[in-house]
Structure 1
Amino acid sequence: MFPQEFQHLIAGVTAQLDGRPLDASLAAWLNATWPAGSTTFRELAQACRDGVAEGWLCNREAGGIRYGRIFKALPETHGFSVDVVAMQDIAGPHHVHPHGEIDLIMPLTEGATFDGHPAGWCVYGPGSAHRPTVANGRALVLYLLPQGAIEFTAT
């Protein structure tokens, strides 16, 4: 897998998200359309695992968290930036999502959760904030941010 192939894979998802409100109904739709174990979920998870192993994903580290923005918000990704983080039993830095955030949770340890969510999709609406937390093991989390907008806070 190369970054260009990964971008094409992501674009197949973001094309379906373009213009949709980031809310609970979107989270329900994502989990019904591409649930954990579906072909799309498995392809995205494998691409993320491969990208980490090959060093082009999660190529930075701070505070015990590996992370990296692989794509800025691009027309090819329908205005979403793409970040992937690798976390294990840790809370990340507090931040605000000015336009919302869509997360794909890919446990590497069976039973690992992200903000209490198991494998699958989680959506945070515009103006929401959190300290991203992985519990019960290791997980990769793919973040889609509209317009790449994120604001880290001192909280």
Structure 2
Amino acid sequence: MDLEELKKKMKFKFIVVEGLDAGEIIRRAYYALGNYIVAVDILKTCQEKAVIMDRYWHSTTAYGIANETSSTDIPQEGHWAYDWPADLLTPDLVLFLSVSEEIRQIRMKGRGGESTQEEKHLKKDRLFRERLYLAYKRMRNPKCTEIDASGSMEKVLELAREEINKLN
């Protein structure tokens, strides 16, 4: 079946929102809603195979906290802001791949293309990066399992597999 035939059979609209410039709170709410929507698909897919995805609730929350706080008023460890929502599908494991800003910049240049607003913000604001990292580290239920991603792709994959194998 070709794409046009499939499109004719669509029962619901397909909508994309680009360049959401409505402000940080609305942007994060949009991302959070996306987490709930994709959770339904994850539940279905996990009936047949494993799901590994890039970013979910922790990312939305960590960026929101880092954007809306300063170094002096970031929620303390144990604050409810770091808790997973009770009504959202919880992953079995959250891997947090961390690298220094220097390595991140080298890799960004190697990829080419345009930088996102978040990437530009990370590059220019050390205190923001520190708050973001701290927010990820304070997440709980599930926590973020940090992996040093400064090594080769093979080494990072090996470290990730080790963490995944601990689930079995």
TM-score over 0.5 for the pair: no
Q: What is the TM-score with the length of structure 1 in the denominator?
A: 0.30
Higher normalized strand content (fraction of residues): 1
More helix by share: 2
Provide the TM-score with structure 2 as the length reference.
0.29
